Amino acid sequence: MSVPAWPGTLPTKLYVSGYGQSSPDITIKSEMDAGPAKVRRRFTAGVTPVSGTMILTAAQLATFITFFETTTLGGSLRFSWTKPPAHSVACELRFTAVPAWTQVEGKYKISLSLEVLP
């Protein structure tokens, strides 16, 4: 099965305001009977959590809803896009939460929670 691509009619970047990212958690911690916990690397690569917002028109929101609900099967499938914040490197992402949106001055502000896959 091929990996679906982010729709070309939607914005290609997340807004800087509200953007968030953290490093992958690739360690595991084991508590010891005495002394400090033992920490070691569990994986060589991990997922990178990303969150952000974008402003969409009503038509773009309809496209996004179809992409989320139908193309990615409610967010269960990965998709290709450009890697935030660089926006020039192709990568694969998936949704980590159901997107939410609010109406703002005739447009829609949508909040996304994603993870960049290794």
CB 6 within 8 Å of CB 68: no
The dihedrals phi and psi of 61, each to the nearest 5 degrees, come to -65, -40
Chain center to CA of 64: 14
The whole-model pTM stands at 0.77
Structure-token pair, residue 44: 């060589």
The type of residue at 10 is: L
Question: pLDDT tens string for the chain (118 positions)?
Answer: 689 999 999 998 887 677 766 667 766 788 888 888 887 777 666 788 898 999 999 999 999 999 999 999 999 999 999 866 665 778 899 999 999 999 999 999 999 999 988 8
CB 112 within 8 Å of CB 99: yes
> What is the DSSP annotation of 66-113?
HIIIIITTTTTS-EEEEPTTT-SSEEEEEESS--EEEEETTEEEEEEE
* Dihedral of the alpha carbons of 65, 69, 72, 77, in degrees to the nearest 10: 130
- What local confidence, expressed as pLDDT, does residue 34 receive? 86
- What local confidence, expressed as pLDDT, does residue 62 receive? 96
Q: Name, in order, each residue with C-beta under 8 angstroms of 72's C-beta and a sequence gap of 6 or more.
A: 4, 78, 79, 94, 95
- What local confidence, expressed as pLDDT, does residue 86 receive? 60
